[in-house]
Structure formats: structure tokens, C-alpha cells
């Protein structure tokens, strides 16, 4: 019984090595890889939502369609949604 009580518990039965444990060559690359994965996951999760882009595109498409129905010209590279927002803010009608 004394022999049982004198023993020490070691994780997975590994006893500490005199002089400390030496790191294997593959361990540093594994640590760096896992760190990069964690960093990428955090960076991706912190990205802003794309909802404002979709809202702008919907508003732009609605305004372009409205202008085509009214027979007004629609030019490529012109931001009609912004013009409509400014006109609505000022209380003007933008049918020119």
C-alpha cells in the first residue's frame, strides 16, 4: 500500500524529463497554423455587414426603373439613388 501512495499521477503516464521538455519540430508550425486560423476567423467575423450595399443597389434599381417609366434618360455611371435621397430630404420632386 505504501508503494501505491508514494506514486505520483502524471498526465497520460508521461513522467517529466530531466532538463525540461523539448519541443518537436512540427509543433511550432502547428501552433502558427492554428493561430492563423483563429486570427482569420476573428477577422472574418468582424467584417461589416453587406446590407447597406444591397439597400443602395435596390434603391438605385428602383430609381432607374422609375426614370425609364417616366421616359427620362438613364446614364451609365450616374448615381440616381443619391439624387433622389437629396431631393426627398429637400422636399423637391426630381423629374427633370
pLDDT (0 to 100) of residue 42? 94
- Contact between residue 81 and residue 56 where contact means Cβ atoms under 8 Å apart: yes
What's the gap between Cα 18 and its chain centre? 46
pLDDT (0 to 100) of residue 69? 94
CA dihedral for 82, 83, 87, 90, sign (positive or negative): positive
pLDDT at 89 over 60: yes
Q: Is the pTM of this model over 0.85?
A: no
CA dihedral for 66, 72, 76, 81, sign (positive or negative): negative
pLDDT (0 to 100) of residue 32? 95
Residue of 90 and 64 predicted with greater confidence: 64
pLDDT (0 to 100) of residue 49? 76
Amino acid at each position: 500500500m505504501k508503494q501505491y501512495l508514494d506514486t505520483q499521477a502524471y498526465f497520460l503516464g508521461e513522467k517529466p524529463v530531466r532538463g525540461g521538455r523539448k519541443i518537436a519540430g512540427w509543433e511550432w508550425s502547428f501552433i502558427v497554423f492554428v493561430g492563423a486560423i483563429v486570427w482569420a476567423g476573428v477577422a472574418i467575423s468582424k467584417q461589416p455587414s453587406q446590407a447597406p450595399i444591397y439597400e443602395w443597389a435596390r434603391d438605385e434599381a428602383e430609381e432607374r426603373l422609375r426614370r425609364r417609366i417616366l421616359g427620362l434618360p438613364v446614364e451609365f455611371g450616374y448615381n440616381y439613388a443619391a439624387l433622389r435621397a437629396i431631393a426627398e430630404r429637400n422636399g423637391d420632386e426630381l423629374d427633370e
